[in-house]
Chain A
Amino acid sequence: MSTPITKITPNQPVFFDNDPQEELITLNIGPTHPATHGVFQNVVQIDGERIVSGVSTIGYIHRAFEKIAEHRAFYQITPLTDRLNYCSSPINNMGWHMTVEKLLNIEIPKRVQYMRVIVMELARIADHIICNGILGVDTGAFSGFLYLMQEREFIYEIYEEICGARLTTNIGRIGGFERDFNDIAFAKINEFVNRFPAVLDEFEELFVRNRIFIERTSGVAAVTPEQALEYSWSGPILRATGVDYDVRISDPYCSYEEFDFEVPVGTTGDVYDRFMVRNDEMRQSMRIIRQALDKIDKEPKNIFHADVPEFYLPPKEQVYNNMEALIYHFKIVMGEWETPKSEVYHAVEGANGELGFYLINDGGRTPYRLHFRRPSFVNYQMFASMSAGMLLSDAIINMSSLNVIAGELDA
C-alpha cells in the first residue's frame, strides 16, 4: 500500500494513487436500513460490491417475552405471542392455545379445529403474500406487491370479523374461540377462496418467466439440504432445498391429518425456489381452506369452544346472573385452577418454519419456564456466513427470501 495522503486542500477533489479495490470497506447495513424491512444490523466487509465477511447483530427489539411470560397467567400470554411473527399472529396464537390444551388434556371439538385450520391457513397466506410481494419489490417490481396487498387487506378484514383486530389479533381462547364466526366472516372467507387463486396466478405470471426476476434470483444463495439441516432450518426455505419436512405432516395437530394437501418442495434451495415454494404453499392453503369449509358444514352448528368451564371464560351475562359462572370467572382470572406439573413441547408449522413452545409447568398460575422456538431466529443465523462471497444486492434479496421477521427474531 502506498503512503496515505496527508495534505488535503479544501474544495479540491481528493485523488488516491493507490488502488481503491485493494482495501476492504466496512459497511453498516442497518439497524434501520430501508432495504432490510425491519430492525437488522449487519456489519459487512465489502470488496467493491462483493461481501467478504459479515457479522449480524440482533436484539434491537428484544422485549423479554420469556421473562414476562413467567409472570403471567396462561391466557395472558396469547397477546405476547401475537408480537412474535406479527405477519401471521393467528398461527402463533393457535400454537400457544394448543400447547396449553395439550398440557391440560383438553379435547377440542372438530368444528373448532376446522375453524382454527381456516384461520391458520389464512394467516399463512397473508405471511407468504408479504414475503413474496417484498421479494418482488426488492428485485424492482412494485406492482405485484401492491396487487397482492389488496388480498392481504381482505384477509385482515376476515380477521376483523372473527376477532375484531387486524394485526396483533389475540384470536381465539384456550379451549376454542371467544365467539362463533358470523355469517359475514363465512361469506368473506368464501369470497376470498373464490377470487384469490386467479389473483395468485396473475401475480405469479409477473415473475415466473420474467427475465429480470430470474437473473436476480435464480442460483442466488443456493443452499444444499445438508447445509440447511446442519443449521436447523425449517419451513419454506428448508423445503426449497428439497427436504419435505412440514410439521403439519410429521406431527399433525388440529386435525391436519384429515386434510388432503401436498408439501411443495424445491430442488436447488435458491431464492427462486423459495419464491415458488411459497407460491405453491398458498395454493395448498387454499385447498385446505376449501376442505375445511366443507367439513364445517357437516359438523353441528354453533359449537365454537370446548366444554372446559375451568379454563374458558363464561359469557358476561352469565357472570352477572349466575353464581357458578361468577365463580368460574374469578377462578380463571385469578389463576386458581390446578394445572398438571409437567412439561410439554408443542410445535406448529408457522409461516417461517417450526414454531415450538416449550412449556415447563410447576402447577402454578404462570409457566415456570416458557421458551419459544422461533424459526426466524434459527433460520437467520446462517445469513452472515452464507453472505460471504455474495454480491451486496444478492445478500439483500437473500434476506428478503428468508422472510426474517424482527419480532420473531428478537422475541
Chain B
Amino acid sequence: MDKLTNDRIFGRLQQQFGDQVQFIGEPYGLMTIAASKEVIIDLLFFLKLDEELRFNFLTDITAAHYPTQEHPFDVVYHVHNMVQRIRLRIKVSIGGEIPTIPTATVVWKGANWMERETYDFYGIHFEGHPDLRRILNMDDLDVFPMRKEYPLEDPNRVDKKDFYFGR
C-alpha cells in the first residue's frame, strides 16, 4: 500500500467534490481543508468508507467564533487514518441567525457528545442530531458562553466594583 500524502488526499477529494472542498493550508504538517456545509456529511462518509483514504476515526468536533467574519462560526472536524497515521482537519464556515449544519452522528456515533458540547458552547444547531441538549452547562442557561461577545465574568456583578476596595 502506497503511503498517502496530503496532495494525494486532496486530489481524491477534489476529484469527488470539486469546488466544494478547498485547501487552506498545512500548518505543522496537518492538512486543513474547507468544505461547504452542503457536502460535509458526504465528505465525512467518503473519508471514512473510501478504500484508499480510510479515515476511520473521528478525533474531535469543535468550533471557533470569528465575530467579524461574514460566516462567523467555524465548525472544525479532526479525523484520523489510524492505518497510515494521517490526520486531517476539516473546517466548515457557517453563519445565519441560528447557525445550522447537518449532524455527523450518522457517520460516527461518537459525534453525539462532541456536537452537544459544540451546541452548548456556541449554539450551533446540528440538524438531525438525536439528542441536541446542553451537556456541560445548566439546561436553563440562555446564552452560549464560548461566543466572543460573552464576557469571562458577569459584567452585572456588583460585588467586584472598585469602590468596595477603596479604589
A interface list, Cβ under 8 A from B:
58-59, 62, 64, 66-68, 70-71, 102-103, 229-233, 243, 245, 250-251, 342-345, 347, 354, 356, 358, 360, 368-369, 371, 373, 377-378, 380-382, 410-411
Contacts and interface: CB of A to CB of B under 8 A. Distances in A.
B23 interface: no
Contacts of B150: 67
A410 B135 CA distance: 9
B102 interface: no
A200 B22 CA distance: 52
Interface string B24-44: 000110101000000000000
Nearest to B110: A232
A59 B62 contact: no
Contact of A58 (B85, B110, B114, B136): B136
B90 interface: no
19 contacts: A58-B135, A59-B137, A59-B138, A68-B152, A230-B108, A230-B109, A231-B108, A232-B114, A342-B28, A343-B27, A343-B89, A344-B28, A345-B78, A345-B87, A345-B89, A354-B59, A356-B78, A358-B78, A378-B114
B64 A232 contact: no
A233 B113 CA distance: 13
A66 B145 CA distance: 10
Contacts of A342: 27-28
A25 to B, nearest CB: 23
Contacts of B138: 59
Interface string B89-110: 1000000000000000000111
A377 B27 contact: no
B136 A410 contact: yes
Contacts of B82: 243, 245, 250
Nearest to A103: B28
Interface residues of B, number: 36
A354 B82 CA distance: 13
Secondary structure at the B interface, as helix, strand, loop or mixed, is: mixed
A67 B152 contact: yes
Contacts of B108: 230-232
Contact of B152 (A71, A103, A368): A71
B60 to A, nearest CB: 4
B121 interface: yes
Secondary structure at the A interface, as helix, strand, loop or mixed, is: mixed
A245 B152 CA distance: 38
A10 to B, nearest CB: 39
Interface in B111-138: 111-114, 117, 121, 134-138
B136 A59 contact: yes
A67 B145 contact: yes
Identify the 3 closest CB pairs spanning chains A and B, nearest first: A232-B110, A59-B136, A381-B113
B60 A373 contact: yes
B58 interface: yes
Contacts of A347: 59
B146 interface: yes
Interface in B1-48: 27-28, 30, 32
A342 B26 CA distance: 10
A232 B59 contact: yes
B53 interface: no
Given A250-B85, A410-B136, A229 B28 contact: no
Contacts of A231: 108-110
A241 B73 CA distance: 37
A102 B29 CA distance: 11
A347 B58 CA distance: 14
B57 A62 contact: no
B110 A64 contact: no
Contacts of A251: 85, 87
Contacts of B117: 377
B116 to A, nearest CB: 9
Nearest to A66: B146
Contacts of B134: 59
Contacts of B27: 342-344
